[in-house]
Structures are given as structure tokens and as C-alpha cells.
Amino acid sequence: MSTAVTPNGTARPEALLRRVELRIGRRLDGLLQGERRGRRPGPGGEPSLTRNYEPGDDVRWVDWPLSARMGEPYVRVPELEPVLTSWALLDCSPSMRFGSYVQTKMELAQEILAGLGVVLRRRGDQLGVVATVAGDLDLVRAPRADRRGLIAALAAVRALPDAGATQSTDLAKAVRALGRLARHRGAVIVMSDFPESPDLERALGMLGRSHEVIAVEVRDRRERELPKIGPMRLRDVETGQSIDVDTSDPRFRERLARVAAERAERTRSMLARAGARHLVVETGSEWVLPLARALEGRSERRRVAL
């Protein structure tokens, strides 16, 4: 069976969402149940409050078996939870277009965005989507809880133009802009490779005062380990600078691994100081269960705070 693809070779939003829905259904069914009371009752769940019938109540609410046992009319009044709103911020900078194993970091971020939409839609909650190429909010999709809205958001992300080859992204600026946009308290999921920046740490910290922030750091293994193929030229897609290296040189390989480990630790420390929940995902690897654990941790933090 063939999969519909866009001209750049990636799956279309509808096909991507169907694939993600299958992965979510197979791996997360039952895992996220009971995390919090939802807007719809599950199997064996209690859908309503029971009380005496009052004039004007909808007759469809009458609990006839209970009324027969009690000798007077009782109704079960539906009790719906308020809709929760989450926002997802996608970093679409040039560095996110890099990928060496099956997919790019941007394609992985879009998969995770689809997974977030599926999980939240199952709960009846809403997801708003924003994206940045260079620092401004180049895409803003209002919060929605339907499948059509999620497909439209995925298509809009794919339609964003590529950033210039030497254009870096001011992610802190985008985070501050989202903080002004997301007025009601909720969750904000930021998907990026998180460039090092004191401004970004402050922006995430400020956002965390009003929202629960989940930082999804997207990585690729070739950013810390290169194959032994001898001399080659590497180019930084954010700055355009190039450097010639010998990938077979043990000293270079050791230095690359050390620099990558130090950067990963600085990013971890930055996000911890900002109070964000940190989730690391890598291209070509499993992300469904780690995402579920991050969402479970989010609910635990909310219960403790209350």
C-alpha cells in the first residue's frame, strides 16, 4: 500500500495523522485513562450526579431503574468538565531541517504535534498551534479539538517557507509572543532543538509562571557522532560557517562527543532552572511512550499544586 506524499517526499497531513492515530491507539490505550476526570465517561464510569427530579429537568435524564427502587423520580444530571486548552510552539529554524536517520528533526516534531492533538482530542480538550521561523509567530492556529482542525494545522506548518540558509531563530522572542497570546492558564509544549540563550531561559521561566511548560528537545544522533568516512566539510545551517574535519581522527571524534555532551547538559540545566518539564526525543526513535510519561507527569504536578 502506498502512502500519499508531498512534493518534498514527506507524508501528507492526512496520512501522517492516520499513522500517528494507529501508533497512539496501539500503545497508549489504557495508559492515560484515569489521569484526570474527562468530559466523557469511559467504560463503567460515572457520567453524572444523581438527585431528585425537579420540574423543568430533561426527561431524558430520568434514571428509571433508580426511580422504581426509590419510589420517587430521580435524574442523573450530566456533569461536564471545562475544556482545557494547550498550546504547541514549533521551532522551524534551519537547524530543525537537519536529519540523518529516516526523518528530519522537523518531521519528528510534526509527528509529535499530531500525537498531542490525538491525545487531547480524545479527552475533549483543545490544542492551539503556533510556529516560528526566525522569531516572529509566523503561524497561529486557534485552539480546536476536532480532527479537521488538527489536519489543517499540520498542513499549515508544512506550508511555512524555509528560513534562509544563514538565518537563526530567536526562540525567546517567539516564547514571549506566545505568552501574550495564551491568556488562560494551561499547558504549553515547546518543540525545538533549544539553542543556548540566557534570553530563552528567562522567557521560559516567565511563561512557566502562568502555564505548565513541557520542553520537547528534538535531537539527531549525527549531532554527537559521525561515521568514519575520512575528511569532509561540515556547515552550520544557522550561521553558514563551514569547517573541514577528519571524521576518522580519534581526537576529533572524542572532542565532538565531549562538546555534544556538554551542550546537552547545559540545555538540561537551562530548562530545569526555567521550571520546564524536559523530554528528549531523537529522530528514528520511539517517542509515543516518552510523550505519555511527560503528560502523566504533568497531571501529577497539577494535582500536587492544587
Give me the tens of pLDDT residue by residue for the chain, a chain 306 residues long. Answer: 334 444 444 568 888 888 888 877 766 655 544 444 444 444 444 445 788 887 767 788 888 998 998 899 988 876 555 668 899 999 998 888 888 778 899 999 999 999 988 888 877 788 999 999 888 899 999 998 888 889 999 999 988 887 655 566 789 999 999 999 988 888 999 999 998 888 999 999 999 998 999 999 999 888 888 888 888 888 776 666 788 888 888 898 899 899 989 999 999 999 999 999 999 999 888 888 888 777 766 443 433 332
Matching residue, cell 506566545: 178
For the chain, domains (ranges, CATH) are 13-30+83-305 (3.40.50.410), 51-78 (no CATH)
CA within 13 Å, CB half, 104: 17
Alpha carbon dihedral 153, 157, 161, 162, in 10-degree steps, equals 180
226 vs 98, 104, 252, CA distance in Å? 14, 16, 10
User: Which residues face 126 on adjacent strands?
Assistant: 85
Matching residue, cell 431528585: 52
What the block records as the C-alpha cell of 8 is 518534498
Q: C-alpha angle with apex 35: 33 to 39, nearest 5 degrees? A: 75
- Rg of the chain's alpha carbons, rounded to an integer? 23
> Residue 274: phi, psi to the nearest 5?
-75, -10
For helices 13-28 and 147-158, the axis angle rounded to 10 degrees is 120
Q: Long-range contacts: 13-20, Cβ < 8 Å, 24+?
A: 13/151, 13/152, 13/154, 13/155, 13/158, 14/151, 16/110, 16/111, 16/114, 16/154, 17/114, 17/117, 17/118, 17/147, 17/150, 17/151, 17/154, 20/111, 20/114, 20/115, 20/118
Distance between alpha carbon 32 and the CA centroid of its chain, in Å? 16
Contact predicate 165/236, CB 8 Å: no
- Shortest CA distance to 200 belongs to which of 167, 164, 176, 229? 176
Q: Report d(CA 46, CA 27) in Å as an integer.
A: 25
